[in-house]
Amino acid sequence: MNEPELTGALQGLEPLTASHLTRYKSAVSESGALGWGYYFPYLLARGKAGRSVVLVGEDSDTLCLYQWERGETSDKLELIVPPIPFDHDVLKRCLERANEFNGDRKARILRVDEQDADTVADHPGLKVRQRRAQYLFAPANYEDLSGRRLRTVRRQVAAFEELEGIAIRPMEASDRDACHALLREWKRTHRDAHGTAGGAGTTGRGIDLLGTLPDR
């Protein structure tokens, strides 16, 4: 079995696809979440063929996102992020679903936006622990690169623009092979320097999504 049977504790859920983008953007806009864990292409890239699937469901006009993952002895279900927008009652039902599937009381939320950390920590039985901080750039903040705060960015952009043979254009599906080749070289260099793949797996699955998402 490559994917879970959507029965029992998984009933009512479905695999996350590009078709959910409009509904997802509406929910995230209402919640105001900005963390990396809410970035839609990242969520799609979490699915690994035969190993894990991102599942989505809806409860009281709130979206619930789970990750099903195949284990050596048993499969596991966890929340990727809290309900969107956040709701304590919905979170309780999400955790109950995950615990029912896992057969224990240890269901986790993998990522929590900073603005929701205190609220999630107030939920009975949950503890929030920071593993590492992540963020997304807000494009509107970089439309104008003037001022002291962005002088380093301004210098780096200017240096890049002076390189020969550089063209900037949107990535397309036809770029997949070239992007994967570049990623393999980057992965090798990163592993030689740091001993890790540097998140190349997620980036590779993101490259596979080229051409599958609408522009907006």
172 to 39, 50, 83, 132, 178: CA distances (angstroms): 19, 26, 32, 32, 11
pLDDT tens track, the chain, 216 positions: 467 899 999 999 999 998 999 999 999 999 888 788 888 988 988 888 778 999 999 999 999 999 999 988 889 999 999 999 999 999 999 999 999 999 999 999 999 988 888 999 999 989 888 877 776 666 777 788 888 988 998 999 889 888 888 888 888 889 999 999 999 999 999 999 998 888 888 888 888 887 776 665
pLDDT value at position 211? 73
The Cβ of residue 188 has, within 10 Å, a number of other Cβ atoms equal to 12
pLDDT value at position 177? 93
Residue ranges of alpha helices (H) inside the chain are 21-31, 40-45, 88-102, 117-121, 151-161, 176-194, 200-208
Residue 39 has, within 13 A of its CA and on its CB side, a CA count of 14
Give the list of residues 6+ apart from residue 39 with CB closer than 8 angstroms, or none. Answer: 136
Amino acid in the structure at residue 145? L
Give the list of residues 6+ apart from residue 88 with CB closer than 8 angstroms, or none. Answer: 123
pLDDT value at position 1? 47
Query: Is the CA virtual torsion 173, 175, 176, 179 positive or negative?
Result: negative
Residue 156 has, within 13 A of its CA and on its CB side, a CA count of 5
* CA 212 to centroid of chain Cα atoms: 16
pTM more than 0.85: no
pLDDT value at position 79? 97
Residue ranges of alpha helices (H) inside 77-211 are 88-102, 117-121, 151-161, 176-194, 200-208
Relative to beta strand 52-59, strand 76-79 is unpaired
